[in-house]
Amino acid sequence: MQRYSHAMVCGLGASGVAAAQLLRREGTTVIAVDEFDTAATQHAAETLRAAGCRVELGCAAPPEVTVDVAIVSPGLALHSPLLVALQKRGIPLLSEMELGWSRHAGRTVAVTGSNGKSSVVKALADCFAAAGHKAVPCGNYGLPVCEAVMTDTEWLVIEASSFQLETCAGFRPDIGIVLNIFPNHLDRHGTLETYAKLKARLLSRQRAGDAAWVPPEWAASLRAWSQGQGTWHTFGTTTQEEVHYAAHQLVARDSRAFNIAGSYFDNEVLGANAAALLGAAQAAGLPPALVAQALVNFQPLPHRAELVGEINGVRYVNDSKATNLSAMLAAIRMQRGAVILIAGGRPKEKDFAAAVPLLRERVRRVLLIGEAAAAMQAAWGAHVPCTDCHTLAQAVAAARQTARPGETVLLAPACTSYDQFRAYPERGEAFRKYVTEKD
């Protein structure tokens, strides 16, 4: 475990604050910097100054100080002016996630992928708890890893995003899961291959005795890119995989079947994720029957295929977390009956044409909002009726007028919320409000 004499922490969000506090606890001299000078960063600065950190806000360039390492918050891209300047000065960059992990004396399971990571992390933590183990969900979901390691825990259950993996060097989970890979964050990473190679970094430092769980269609590429030396396993929805989902159950290669009927994961979209979860949990020594029962008891996270209510025979479902096209398509496939889709926001992708076949099959009308409305209209308008409602409030009002009993009004935007909301939870809460408020 490498200790640092002097460190710079870049970004004063929750992960940056946790990293600075962890380093100060170790006696490191810390300077914390942020590109923005806002109420939020000023509040964080007060906390860190009280801990003995030097803090500078509104930094267009890093201060001219000598440090051993720069700890990077996931919100900062490698091409940001702050990080570019640090790289030019030869200062090594390190993910907050890796810094925290390197201080953990126990074991780690880490989950990455394009869709479904947070739910799998939460469910895995539930499984550990049900088996009597101390486990903390952390990383991109839950606590920052640097905060999690300051608790008494046996297991870290880490959600690892491509942003966090971008600045990892030695991160090595005992059990690593790549759930799926679809086009996502291409506004930051450029190409699908670049994005997928970042996901492969989760497994690159694994060694004999570690376990890697991957979808079969990506297994060869992930193994070649990562060169990880763990034991490789596949999961999915066919009998060729080591663990697979079939209707209402998870089936291991030895033909043992475990019932998950009626659970959040009991569908064609999330069943594969549950198969990966079962495989990883078994690798951690958890009894599979206990895991299956934990999945049946699982309470979904907010804003993920969340039923807001049923009004006049119409179901209203909030999947505000569906911030890319593949997540939107998954949300549609999870619904029963015809769908009135609310989509749009600030796009992370440019090509929406891949959605056309499923929209034709399952969606009766699309109600568009936000900056992506024109592009979505151009891609989909010839195949399914589309209306530009501009705002979410207007889209919900239009859905009330057009939805029929037995249909589902689904908020699955395929975009971020940043054009009209601060984050996807705020968008989801707004949807809930507009659905449930009285006329």
Share of the chain above pLDDT 70, in %: 100
Closest CA to 41 of 16, 65, 8, 19: 16
**What residue type is 95 in one-letter code?**
S
Element (H, E) at 40: helix 39-50
Model pLDDT, residue 75 = 87
Model pLDDT, residue 439 = 55
Q: At what angle do helices 288-297 and 271-283 cross, to 10 degrees?
A: 140
CATH code for the part of the protein at 306-436: 3.90.190.20
162-195 in b/e burial notation, b at 16+ Cβ within 10 A? bbbbbbbeebbbbbbbbbbbbbbbbebbeeeeeb
Distance between CA atoms of residues 224 and 237, nearest Å: 23
| Structure tokens, 426 | 């705020």
Sign of the C-alpha dihedral computed for residues 23, 27, 28 and 31 taken in this order: positive
HEC letters along 70-138: EEECCCCCCCCHHHHHHHHCCCCEEEHHHHHHHCCCCEEEEEECCCCHHHHHHHHHHHHHHCCCCEEEE
Average per-residue pLDDT for the chain: 96
Q: Please report, for residues 29, 151, 173, 235, 276, the alpha-carbon distance to residue 283 in angstroms, rounded to integers and kept in the order given.
A: 40, 24, 12, 13, 11
Distance between CA atoms of residues 155 and 50, nearest Å: 30
- Comparing 360 with 268, the larger pLDDT belongs to 360
Distance between CA atoms of residues 5 and 305, nearest Å: 46
The arithmetic mean of pLDDT across residues 398-402, rounded, is 97
CATH class of 6-91: alpha beta
* Contacting residues for 116 by C-beta, under 8 A, at least 6 apart: 179, 180, 270, 273
Q: Please report, for residues 42, 72, 88, the alpha-carbon distance to residue 17 in angstroms, rounded to integers and kept in the order given.
A: 12, 11, 25
Share of the chain above pLDDT 90, in %: 93
* Contacting residues for 120 by C-beta, under 8 A, at least 6 apart: 111, 177, 179, 273, 276, 277
The arithmetic mean of pLDDT across residues 430-435, rounded, is 98
Q: Please report, for residues 13, 85, 307, 382, the alpha-carbon distance to residue 189 in angstroms, rounded to integers and kept in the order given.
A: 21, 19, 33, 31
Q: Is 62 helix (H, G, I), strand (E, B) or coil?
A: coil
Model pLDDT, residue 188 = 82
Distance between CA atoms of residues 311 and 378, nearest Å: 32
Taking CA 308 as the corner, what is the angle to CA 236 and CA 344, rounded to the nearest 5 degrees?
70
User: CATH 3.40.50.720 in the chain, residues?
Assistant: 6-91
Model pLDDT, residue 431 = 98
The per-residue pLDDT for range 335-356, each reduced to its tens digit, is 989 999 999 999 988 899 999 9
Q: Is the pLDDT of residue 281 over 70?
A: yes
User: CATH 3.40.1190.10 in the chain, residues?
Assistant: 98-297
What is the phi-psi region of residue 312: left when phi exceeds 0, alpha when psi lies from -120 to 50, beta otherwise?
Answer: left
Q: What is the CA radius of gyration of the chain?
A: 22
**What residue type is 258 in one-letter code?**
F
Model pLDDT, residue 91 = 97
DSSP bridge pairs for 177: 111, 213
Closest CA to 51 of 23, 77, 75: 23
Q: Is 382 helix (H, G, I), strand (E, B) or coil?
A: coil
Q: What is the pTM of this model?
A: 0.91
The arithmetic mean of pLDDT across residues 220-234, rounded, is 98
Q: Is the pLDDT of residue 438 over 80?
A: no
The H-assigned helical ranges of 288-423 are 288-297, 325-333, 356-362, 373-380, 392-402
Contact 273, 264 (CB under 8 A): no
User: CATH 3.90.190.20 in the chain, residues?
Assistant: 306-436
The arithmetic mean of pLDDT across residues 108-118, rounded, is 96
The arithmetic mean of pLDDT across residues 385-396, rounded, is 98
The per-residue pLDDT for range 142-199, each reduced to its tens digit, is 999 999 999 999 999 999 999 999 999 999 999 999 999 998 777 788 899 999 999 9
CATH code for the part of the protein at 98-297: 3.40.1190.10
